[in-house]
């Protein structure tokens, strides 16, 4: 049975039982606690948490999910992947265990001809929470599962919570016995590979308190409504029904895996050395396509970093498997072909998906190709500091900033006679993971915490936003909140959250900062510090009480700072204008991928490969200002999302929209975007628009920044003042300043080049002198001298090689010391004939470095080292000469 058929059967089964079929949400979570959707229930969290009333009492969905907590383990087990689809049926206070348990069993075991999956009852096992007698009773008496196939497990395995105070409850898992080839018998408690979990039923009925994430936290009460949250792993069920051993071999992922094997010249199933990388490639390419399809672009932070990491990991695996040419276009084409029957939007966005994925592959292949240059720069810095160990932070930088694999860094270090501080690298990696976990925990606690405090306020209805056409609104204080709890009043100096029934103050969203303003009444003044939305319906104002006392139920006047709003409107409308100008100049593929604006300032991220020339930036700026000068009308249109798309309105990937959407038009079809922000009434009100910068923020992603209105004028004034100052310093007209600066820079470069040439000539002359001072040690020409001229590692290395080459074909060994930054360094070189006599450069350097109270090493032909005792150079060279005499064979 194909994966799509499993999904459609699940939907039909539960729709017949009163569930509303809900399409998959975007992988980009509309949730401050998550970077990406990682569970089927995640889009429904506001309903479980009581932050918003559920639109339906029962729902069913197949949700696409991404988890990358243990990305290194992907492919090593038969059942874990970074991308997966989770079917679930959900009840929001409607039904509970008495229906969820029998329905799950019925769907799994009902004959295929009758709409079920036809799994044999004799192979199914059940687990329940250790003290959940109710669930076990239903399994035994209502469903008829034999007691010897029901196991009780503890909190880690069979109890669910979000890891923070809030809803929680016991679980019951359904597992299938895949047979003795997967491990010993004994049930799910014995072996998770053999007894594969395919469906988890969560009975969300309790409230947990503070404590560890997995177990050991207190259960402090019961939820007012008992909820059902289930998760059926689509890939796992497909593997069982299709008779394959792993989730990587099913009808979807398996086709990607087969192509990866073909492109790399390998064959799946012949050896685990190739099988694991092939599984990784199939899984990671699938996850990458789904992420890009939902609007994620590669970057060095957040969800963009997750995409970059898994896509580059897939490319690296293909290289290890033997693929030398670019492969991502073919792999993404296969993936879109496999997944578009279920997610048709992938086919519509295939050009963008290909462009993003191929651009990232090209960037990474260039990194690998130019890896020697990147590494050499780091290695040069190491040698200059008289060390032979590449610091952990350098290796981490290569990995974190350039996506350079650590194994490649280790290999290149060894080739250059260097070692890597792996312990330091691993420590920094661990610190990064710890920061990521702490950040996730902070998002959980700060983003969600216990938001049941808003439940009652949400039930009173949504906050009415009046700010599109008003700067002041009379309002009633519905609630006051401090540190997550309702309070009756607040006094002067307090910082609290205020919920009003109506407000003109814009809540931060869509890239636009929240409004500044005040809330006043007789004897009361509140400074508005921030405005945020809860469940997209409740405006929550963070305020400081400047004067008076604030009480719940009080009548107030909410006021927007008019200057702030003017600047914010100019900046947000300016962002739309720049986006339209980008698309006009660069073409329709220059799509917005994120934005930020505040009074006077705008920033726009957009999909594009390669930097923009000064001429292109000037053209974009000119198109923008022409549109402003044309005084184009700005209009807001309210319509449905399908109608908005039909109009050609641009939606920001990853954003979540209501059934009714707001479309902002500037000049009619010239600029049409879905947007809830505040805007000017005509384009001329934006005034001047100046672009101040353009840069890369990730592979295939550029950022453009600008000023509008008064900030643009201020920027131009500063630029003019700077130009005048440079003109005065150079004593030339402003129009000639650029040429004069260029001429001065050329003179400086020429002078630096001349110094370098003189330095090289001096060292070449000294090399000739050193050759004339050669010693014969048992038939080996030996030069062991100190260079009184200070030099860095690179200069000394070239100097020693020059001497060795001048000694001709006779056996030769050269060791020279010098000072670099007042610390001794040493380089040894041995020619072919010298190595035939038993001499190795690495050994000679280690001898000298020991005397210098340091360390060193390298290859037999060339090696380097350093120390801490600058007075020991003579003794070090004497010891090298002695060792050569003992080591050479007659």
CA distance 596 to 687: 19
Question: Cα–chain-centroid distance for residue 8?
Answer: 33
Q: Which residues make Cβ contacts (< 8 Å) with residue 184, sequence separation at least 6?
A: 190, 191, 194
Determine if residue 354 is labeled as part of a ligand binding site: no
The string of DSSP letters for 22-51 reads EPPPPSB-SSTT-SB--STTGGGHHHHTTS
887 CB neighbour count, 10 Å cutoff: 18
CA distance 710 to 727: 26
Distances (CA, A) of 62 to 25, 569, 737: 9, 40, 64
CA distance 152 to 172: 9
β-pairing, 775-777 vs 701-708, is unpaired
**Which of 304, 301, 365, 302 is CA-nearest to residue 329?**
365
Contact 849, 877 (CB under 8 A): no
Determine if residue 448 is labeled as part of a ligand binding site: no
CA distance 405 to 400: 9
Backbone angles phi, psi at 519, to 5 degrees: -125, 125
Q: Which residues make Cβ contacts (< 8 Å) with residue 647, sequence separation at least 6?
A: 637, 639, 663, 672
Angle at 161 between CA 160 and CA 164, to 5 degrees: 160
β-pairing, 150-153 vs 124-129, is parallel
Provide the Cα torsion 528, 532, 538, 543; round to 10°: -20
Give the largest CA-CA distance in the chain: 106
CA distance 320 to 260: 12
CA distance 238 to 12: 17
Backbone angles phi, psi at 805, to 5 degrees: -65, -30
Contact 128, 135 (CB under 8 A): yes
Burial of 342 (0-12, 13-18, 19+ CB in 10 A): middle
Provide the angle, in degrees to the nearest 10, between the axes of the packed helices 709-730 and 562-586. 70
Contact 450, 484 (CB under 8 A): yes
Q: Which residues make Cβ contacts (< 8 Å) with residue 721, sequence separation at least 6?
A: none
**Which of 212, 267, 279 is CA-nearest to residue 239?**
279
Bridge partners of 206, per DSSP, are 168, 222
For 636, the 3-state DSSP assignment is strand
Contact 506, 512 (CB under 8 A): yes
Residues 424-448, buried b or exposed e (16+ Cβ, 10 A)? bbeebbeeeeeeeeeebeeebeeeb
Q: Which residues make Cβ contacts (< 8 Å) with residue 522, sequence separation at least 6?
A: none
Q: How many residues does the chain have?
A: 890
Strand order in the sheet with 634-640: 634-640, 660-666, 671-674
> Which parts of 182-266 fold into alpha helices (H)?
234-242, 253-264
Determine if residue 675 is labeled as part of a ligand binding site: yes
Binding residues for Zn(2+): 572, 576, 675, 679
Query: Which segments are annotated as binding site?
Result: 572, 576, 675, 679
């Amino acid at each position: 049975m194909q994966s799509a058929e499993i999904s459609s059967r699940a939907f039909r089964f539960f729709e017949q039982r009163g569930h509303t079929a809900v399409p998959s949400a975007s992988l980009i979570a509309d949730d401050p606690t998550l970077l990406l959707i990682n569970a089927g229930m995640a889009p429904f969290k506001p309903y479980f948490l009581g932050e918003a009333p559920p639109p339906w009492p029962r729902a069913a969905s197949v949700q696409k999910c991404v988890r990358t907590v243990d990305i290194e383990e992907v492919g090593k087990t038969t059942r874990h992947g970074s991308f997966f689809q989770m079917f679930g049926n959900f009840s929001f206070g409607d039904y509970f265990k008495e229906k969820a348990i029998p329905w799950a069993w019925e769907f799994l075991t009902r004959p295929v001809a009758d709409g079920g999956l036809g799994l044999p009852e004799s192979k199914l096992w059940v687990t329940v929470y250790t003290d959940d007698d109710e669930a076990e009773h239903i399994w035994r008496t209502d469903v008829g599962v034999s007691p010897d196939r029901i196991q009780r497990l503890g909190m880690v395995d069979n109890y669910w919570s979000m890891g923070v105070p809030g809803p929680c409850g016991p679980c019951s898992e359904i597992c299938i016995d895949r047979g003795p080839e997967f491990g010993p018998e004994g049930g799910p408690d014995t072996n998770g590979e053999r007894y594969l979990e395919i469906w988890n039923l969560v009975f969300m009925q309790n409230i947990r308190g503070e404590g560890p994430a997995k177990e050991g936290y207190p259960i402090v009460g019961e939820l007012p409504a008992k909820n059902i949250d289930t998760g059926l792993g689509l890939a796992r069920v497909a593997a069982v029904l299709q008779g394959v051993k792993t989730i990587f071999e099913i009808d979807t992922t398996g086709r990607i895996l087969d192509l990866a094997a073909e492109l790399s010249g390998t064959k799946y199933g012949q050896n685990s050395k190739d099988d694991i990388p092939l599984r990784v490639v199939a899984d990671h390419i699938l996850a990458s396509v789904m992420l890009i399809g939902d609007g994620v672009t590669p970057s060095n932070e957040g969800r963009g970093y997750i995409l970059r990491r898994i896509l580059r990991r897939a490319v690296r695996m293909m290289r290890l498997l033997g693929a030398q040419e670019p492969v991502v276009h073919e792999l993404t084409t296969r993936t879109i072909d496999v997944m578009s029957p279920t997610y048709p939007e992938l086919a519509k966005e295939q050009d963008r998906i290909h462009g993003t994925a191929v651009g990232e592959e090209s960037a990474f292949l260039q990194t690998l190709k130019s890896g020697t240059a990147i590494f050499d720069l780091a290695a040069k810095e190491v040698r200059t500091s008289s060390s032979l160990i590449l610091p952990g932070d350098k290796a981490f930088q290569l990995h974190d900033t350039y996506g350079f694999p650590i194994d490649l860094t280790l290999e290149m270090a060894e080739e250059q006679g260097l070692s890597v501080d792996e312990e330091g690298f691993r420590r920094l990696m661990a610190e990064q993971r710890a920061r990521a976990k702490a950040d996730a925990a902070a998002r959980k606690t700060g983003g969600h915490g216990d938001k049941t405090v808003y439940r009652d306020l949400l039930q009173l209805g949504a906050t009415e936003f009046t700010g599109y056409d008003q700067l002041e609104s009379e309002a009633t204080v519905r609630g006051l909140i401090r540190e997550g709890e309702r309070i009756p009043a607040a006094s002067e100096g307090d910082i609290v959250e205020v919920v009003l029934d109506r407000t003109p103050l814009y809540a931060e969203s869509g890239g636009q900062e929240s409004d500044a303003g005040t809330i006043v009444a007789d004897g009361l003044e509140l400074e508005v510090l921030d405005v945020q939305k809860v469940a997209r319906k409740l405006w929550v104002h963070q305020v400081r009480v400047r004067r008076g006392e604030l009480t719940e139920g009080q009548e107030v006047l909410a006021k927007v700072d008019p200057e702030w709003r003017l600047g914010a409107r100019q900046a947000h409308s300016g962002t739309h204008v720049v986006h339209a100008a980008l698309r006009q100049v660069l073409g329709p593929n220059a799509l917005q991928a994120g934005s930020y604006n505040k009074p006077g300032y705008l920033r726009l991220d957009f999909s594009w490969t390669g930097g923009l020339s000064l001429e292109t930036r000037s053209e974009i700026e000119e198109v923008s200002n022409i549109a402003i000068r044309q005084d184009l009308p700005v209009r807001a249109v309210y319509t449905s999302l399908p109608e908005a798309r039909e109009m050609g309105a641009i939606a920001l990937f990853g954003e979540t929209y209501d059934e009714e959407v707001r479309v902002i038009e500037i000049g009619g079809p010239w600029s049409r975007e879905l947007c809830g922000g505040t805007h000017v009434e005509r384009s001329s009100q934006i005034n001047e628009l100046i672009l101040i910068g353009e840069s890369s923020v990730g592979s295939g992603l550029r950022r453009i920044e600008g000023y509008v209105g008064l900030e643009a004028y201020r920027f131009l004034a500063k630029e003019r003042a700077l130009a005048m100052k440079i003109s005065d310093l150079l004593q030339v007209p402003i129009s000639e300043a650029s040429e004069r600066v260029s001429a001065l820079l050329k003179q400086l470069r020429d002078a630096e080049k001349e110094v370098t040439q003189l330095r090289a000539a001096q060292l070449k002359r000294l090399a000739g002198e050193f050759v004339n001072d050669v010693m014969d040690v048992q038939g080996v020409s030996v030069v062991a001298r100190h260079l009184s001229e200070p030099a860095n590692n690179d200069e000394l290395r070239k100097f020693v090689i020059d001497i060795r080459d001048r000694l001709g074909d006779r056996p030769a060994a050269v060791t020279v010391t010098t000072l670099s930054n007042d610390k001794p360094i040493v380089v040894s070189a041995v020619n072919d004939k010298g190595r035939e006599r038993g001499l190795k450069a690495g050994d000679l350097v280690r001898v000298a470095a020991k005397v210098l109270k340091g360390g060193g090493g390298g290859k037999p032909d060339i090696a380097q080292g350093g120390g801490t005792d600058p007075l020991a150079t003579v003794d070090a060279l004497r010891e090298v000469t002695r060792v050569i005499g003992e080591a050479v064979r007659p």
